[in-house]
Every structure is written in C-alpha cells, then in structure tokens.
A and B are shown apart, each in its own frame.
Chain A
Amino acid sequence: MSIELDGKSYETDEEGYLVNMGDWNDALASAMAREDGAELDSNHWEVINFLRDYYEEYQIAPAVRVLTKAIGKRMGKEKGTSKYLYELFPYGPAKQACKYAGLPKPTGCV
C-alpha cells in the first residue's frame, strides 16, 4: 500500500501507517487526514507536534495520561481530557494521531 502526494508515492502498511518515518512531512499528514475525510486544524497540529517531539525523545508514543496532561498545559485545562482528544481524533488519539504524525501504531492491549 502507499499514499500519493505531488506525484510521489510513499509506502504505507495495510492500515495506512508510514513505513519509513523519514518520509513524513506536514503536507503528507494533511493528505493522510484527507483520505480519512478529515481536515487538520491548529488543534490537531498541537497534538501531532507533541507526539512527534515525544517520540523523538522516547521512541514511543506517549501514554494517554501523558498526552492529555501535556495538551492541558499547552492548550488550557479544559482541553486536557481524553474526551477532547477523541473529539479531535475519533478513531482514538493514540492510533489516529500517530498515523498522521508518521509514527508507528501503538501495539498491545490498547
């Protein structure tokens, strides 16, 4: 599987996650979201950027608590809830946001 953007093709796995994290860029994230029928706004980007920063430091996506706390600090306490994150990413903040951020899908009993 792959995703096409500006005449270039980027390899993805069966579920649309990028195979090579190095391929990622902002435009590709937006293109992946569009494929799911979603439009990324500044709120989505706040989450995506945090995920990428965290991943760079820890080589894993943040736990839901870590994510909600960080988003609460950056965007205001009322947004630091998993309910808010599910509104932004209805398929689950960990999975859907990781996909747009070009990170591997979290595995396990989650």
Chain B
Amino acid sequence: MIDFETPVLKEYPIIPLIQPGAMAHSKPYVAKQDLQEKIGFPGELIDDWQEVAIKKMGELVSKSRALMVFLDTCVKCGACTDKCHYFLGTADPYNMPVARQDLFRDVYRRYFTFAGKHFPKLVGAKDLDKDMLDLWYSYFHQCSQCRRCSVYCPFGIDTAEISMAAREILNTIGVGQKYCNEIIGKAQTIGNNLGLPEPALADTLEGLEEDIEEETGVKVRLPLDEKNADILLVTPSADFFAEPHVDGLIGYAKVFHAAGLSWTLSSHASEASNFGLFIGSYDNMQKISMRIRDAALELGVKRIVFGECGHAWRVAYNFLNTLAGPFDFLDQNYPIPQNISEVTYDLIQRNALTLDKSANDDKVLTFHDSCNVARGSRMGDVAGGQFIIPREIIKATCNHFYDMADDTIKEATFCCGGGGGLLTDDLVELRVKGALPRMEALKQVVDNHGVTHMVAICAICKSQFSKVMPYYGFEMDQVISLHQLVGNAIVLNRSE
C-alpha cells in the first residue's frame, strides 16, 4: 500500500496551491483478459488501438449532441477549477474539471475540428498517443462523475459525461478497470455485485429475521422470491453484506411490515447498483437493468421500489424505462420506479407509521446528500424533492438534526470521495484525499452542534465513509443509513 499523508482538517476550506503531478501515480488495477471479455470488451490493448479509439470518439460525439456541445463550448472561464473534491484534496491541476475535460477535448480537437486537423499547435489540439492514453487512464479514474463542477459551469458542461465517454473508449480498446468490470460481470451472471448466490442470500435474510425478532419481539419478514407480492424491492447487495448498510435494510423491512405492504426481494435481481453507468456502457447498463424487468415479470409484482443507493437511483429514475421498459404491466398509480425514501415519506405524511423520535435521542444527526441523487435525479413530485424528503424523514425520526454548510449540501453537495467506480482499495489515497471537503464540513457541525452521526442514502457513500473517516479522527460507525433511523424509531405492533 502506498504511503501518503492524510490532509489536515482546516478551520475553513482553503483552495490549495497547485502541485503538478501530485496524483500522476494514481491509477487503478487494469482488468485482466477474462474480466474484459466476459462483458464484451477486448482482453487487452489492441494493436490498432489509436484508430479504433478515434473512431469510437467520433461515434460517441455523433450520437450525443450533449457530449459535442460540452467539448465545443468551454471558454476557460475557470469557474469549475476549485469545485472538484479531488482537486481540493490533492492539489493536482489535472483534477481541475476543465483540465480533466481538456485531456479529452484536446484529442477531440485534433481529429474532429478543422483548425485542429490543420493547425493543431495553434489550437492546443493533441495526438492520442500512448502518453495521452496513460493520462486518460489515470485522471479519468480520478473523477467520481459527481457533477458538482457542472453546477458551477455557466454552460452546464458535465465532466461526468466526458469521463464516462473516456472510460467507454478505454474499454473499447481493451483497457478496462478491474474493480468496475469484475463487478459488472458478477451482476450479469450471479445477479449482484458481490457474487452472492441465492442460498447465501436466503441464509443471510433468515439470520436478519431472527435478529429483528430477538430485538423487538415481532416477526418481521424479509421475503425472497415470493410470487405475487405487490412490491419488488431492488437494493444494493451491500445492504445484505456490510455495515451500516444492513441496518438500513432492516429499516425498510420494518416500514413494509408496519404499513402492511406485501413485498419481496429477488435473487435474480439482487442488485440495485449498476456499474455499467460508470464505464459509460449502455449495453452493460441494459443487461443489468433487464434482470430487474425479468424479475418483476416472473414474480408478478405491481410496483418496483429501490433501496438506498445513489447511482442506482440515477439509472432507475432517468433510464430504467428506456433500458428495460415499457413497464405497462406495473400499477400506474405509483411512480415507476419508486425510491424507498418516497415510500416512507408518503407513509409518514399519511400518519401510517408510529414513530418514537426519542429512540434516536442518543444521536445528533447531519445529512450527506449523495451526488447521484442530489444532481442526477429527483424524489417526489416537487423540484428539490430529493433534498426535502430525506431531511423530512430524519426530522420525523429524531430530535436533533443540523445541516452542514450551505455550499456543501443539496445541489452543492460534495462527493463522498468513492463514487463513480472508485470505491476500491487500490485507490485509497485518492479516496481519503477526495473526502477532505466533506470531512471539513462535517467537522464544523461536530464542533458547533455536537453532531455524532452522518446519515447517508447510498451504499457507496456508506462504505467510503466507514473506510476514510478514521483517517480524519472520526469513528467508522459515525456514518449510518437513513432507514436505520426509521428502523430505530418505528413502533411495531407486538400483537401481530
């Protein structure tokens, strides 16, 4: 493991002086041949990679008007330069969003614009050579596709789209990232990112049912593959496996139980998360999404509800219908798909849940908006619902809540530092440094309001914070699931 220094938490955020090359060494493990081929990419860097890469770039640009506009319009105003958490945490100038985009843009200019083709030096157009390829691999794996920079860009240029396109091109020529591609392969063959087979899933759920009964005296079920249930819950497999995720899963189960809703999990679609998004691969994204459609049809459900996961919700909210629709066989009176937070919020609004806030009196909470929910999608039926709903759930389930600084929450939220397919041990330095802005904001509310726990609604955020918080002097269990609060506060009817 690489030695590095954890940044010091300052009293207020300071934009660092640039340190060229500070993160040039950071690159994730490359996927081996078998992982690549399993998901439809060449096993290793192909011979005519330059030609194929440029052709693919042309294809992507001609298919996506948005991508072309993003590449053509940047005026180098500099508004984005200090907005990326990885720049703030590493000081590497390539982590300024405009510089990251330019790695792609300079190549685009060289091969797809008149000036770049004929006078490349005059317009900063660059060849796609091996050095450029290496820069791409390193720095497009230092972007968590969180879109914070796009909020501040006067043209709305979205670095996430450029970073996804770059990774798609890299995969097309045989250079994939091990972490993402191994996961995509497992999701497509076993049904989830962990590779958790049905018998292990059934055993795990049974154990959780025992735990809940032991704790509450109430038989709360976690049904698996139950035909004709009303709701199919699709949740990140981390909810079955890891902490604090599992406490969120227990919370969902208690909500369904208390509201008398019939629901089931599916062993075929035992994953909400969709890593196809991170590598910009429509085909892979579709294969993973189709499992959800197939499971919904097979089980005969009427609704699909997604558990706490940021990019799962982005894919579900924005693309599920395109990828795996039409969902005309579901109950059209409910949003398709629906988020578990929308379900819980709706029940709270209708006084359908009995909640005892004092059950969370041992905690003082703050809330971390997940980037893919905050900027990539929405909840509820009003603008900004994705900011209102989780906060209203927190306020309905606990007595002590304080938001972090305004420029670090809601649409300005900072990424946890592990999104976009970077939640892997070979990128720990990047993850720790990228968490700096969030950790600074957290420290402020800890110091000023005695905040003890940060609530998250995304499996990646939860795993990332449990890993990096100890580097900054916090405890790993200071991050918790939103539905853990709900699960603690919910009063279950013992007579049932």
Contacts and interface: CB of A to CB of B under 8 A. Distances in A.
A106 B179 CA distance: 11
A65 B197 contact: no
Contacts of A88: none
A110 B240 CA distance: 10
B200 A65 contact: no
B195 A110 contact: no
A42 to B, nearest CB: 25
Given A60-B200, A108-B183, A109-B460, A65 B238 contact: no
Interface residues of A, number: 22
Given A14-B29, A58-B200, A107 B425 contact: no
B229 interface: no
B423 interface: yes
A84 to B, nearest CB: 13
A51 to B, nearest CB: 13
Given A58-B200, A110-B238, A65 B193 contact: no
Majority secondary structure of chain B interface residues (helix, strand, loop or mixed) = helix
A59 interface: yes
A64 B241 contact: yes
B192 interface: yes
A65 B195 contact: no
B342 interface: no
A82 B243 contact: yes
Contacts of A82: 243
Interface string B298-312: 000000000001000
A108 B29 contact: no
Contacts of A60: 194-197, 200
A82 B240 CA distance: 15
A41 B463 CA distance: 28
Interface stretch (B3-11, B202-210, B400-408): B202-210
Contacts of A15: 29, 425-426
Given A107-B182, A110-B238, A66 B193 contact: no
Given A107-B186, A109-B273, A66 B207 contact: yes
A59 to B, nearest CB: 6
Nearest to B29: A14
B192 A108 contact: yes
B207 A64 contact: no
A86 B476 CA distance: 10
A102 B273 CA distance: 27
Contacts of A69: 207, 211
A106 B199 contact: no
30 contacts: A15-B426, A58-B197, A58-B199, A58-B200, A59-B195, A60-B194, A60-B195, A63-B240, A63-B246, A64-B243, A65-B204, A65-B208, A66-B203, A86-B476, A94-B241, A94-B242, A106-B194, A107-B193, A107-B194, A107-B195, A108-B183, A108-B236, A108-B237, A109-B236, A109-B238, A109-B242, A109-B309, A109-B462, A109-B463, A110-B241
- The 3 A-B pairs at the shortest CB distance, nearest first, are namely A108-B193, A58-B200, A109-B459
Interface of A: 14-15, 57-60, 62-66, 69, 82, 86, 92, 94-95, 106-110
Interface of B: 29, 178-179, 182-183, 186, 192-197, 199-200, 203-204, 207-208, 211, 236-238, 240-243, 246, 273, 309, 423, 425-426, 459-460, 462-463, 467, 476
